[in-house]
Amino acid sequence: MIMDPAHGAIGNEEPDLRDVQKNNFADVGGDVQPHQEPRRVNNDPRARQQKGNQARRDRRDVHGWVVLDKPIGMTSTQAVAVLKRLFNAKRAGHAGTLDPLASGGLPIALGEATKTVPFVMDGRKRYQFTVCWGEERDTDDIEGRVTATSDQRPTREAILALLPRFTGVIEQIPPRYSAIKVQGERAYDLARDGEVVELAPRPVEIHHLSLVDQPDNDWAVFEAECGKGTYVRALARDMGRILGTFGHICALRRTLVGPFDETDMIPLDQLEALCDRAASGEGSLADALMPVETALDDIPALAVTRADAARLHRGQAVLLRGRDAPTCSGTVYVTVAGRLLALAEVGNGEIIPKRVFNLTGLTASTGRNERN
């Protein structure tokens, strides 16, 4: 899909300046009618404490993943707040920041799924992005200030010849406006204050990079599949410089995050409609959830007996005995009767639990336990 260059920008998997905006999802009440007495305000701190405790008690245990097709204009933090409210969930978090002007896959973990976030963060990401040639900007995307211009435009042949240089393990200097820490300060904070930020290059891996389209000389559409820590903004910047011009990201969509691809994504309006139907008894929010263990697709599963499960649930190690003892080693996820129990390490003839799951509450519906 080719994105409109005027309506997008780059996101990256680390916290971004634009992703720490204060959420504004407070409920707004109607005006007081003339015949009603004004509502008295209780300023007693104990009353506020009780109200806050009641709100937390009203939230429920919800466990699973929702892969939001994040719309342009919403921060990742805001997206988490919206889903937490829609599901009335106690806990929520996301696996890989998308900037407000980027769209696409934002995996949001609810409840016990938050324990599996690192496995998604460490997975591959795939992006489709549009580069605007002829301008370099201080943020390396369309939101920044123009710092250099060029009348030169790369040919299709020159772009194709360049792509192998940006495939594999390469050295990349992160953008000045990034979450990299410099002497304890975020680089984007220093850049905002006008300080010159010198970031050291670091190795990143780009598994695949291709030219998807070149609608005219000013724009080029690419697809990249990359590992953790890669900045697509920096990729556009560096390609522009080597091609004898300048470049910045003007549109971006994320299509893959770890095990989650576009087939798993659900637009916000569809999710809200599902929640409305569930509230009226016409459906279940469980239909929007993917199982917690979906994030563990690349990890071996190990089934145990109920007796061993009881030990693991108490945090105790289990010895591996007999001819049927598993021969695998390293990290596994443990199941009992087909239900996720724990993340564990197998070694030295025993299973050692590392994270135990308590999936009491709302979980994914049975039909979503099978990937499409």
Q: Are 129 and 10 in contact (CB under 8 A)?
A: yes
Active site (catalytic) residues: 99
CB neighbour list of residue 45: distance below 8 Å, 6 or more residues apart? none
The encoded tokens of residue 245 equal 């011009």
| CB proximity list for 336: less than 8 A, separation 6 or greater | 303, 304, 305, 306, 308, 309
Could you give the angle at the alpha carbon of 277 between the alpha carbons of 274 and 280, nearest 5°? 150
Q: What angle do CA 140, 141, 146 make, to 5 degrees?
A: 70
The DSSP bridge partners found for residue 334 are 302, 342
What's the full length of the chain, in residues?
372
3-state secondary structure of 350: strand
Nearest in space to 243 (alpha carbons), one of 138, 155, 128, 173: 155
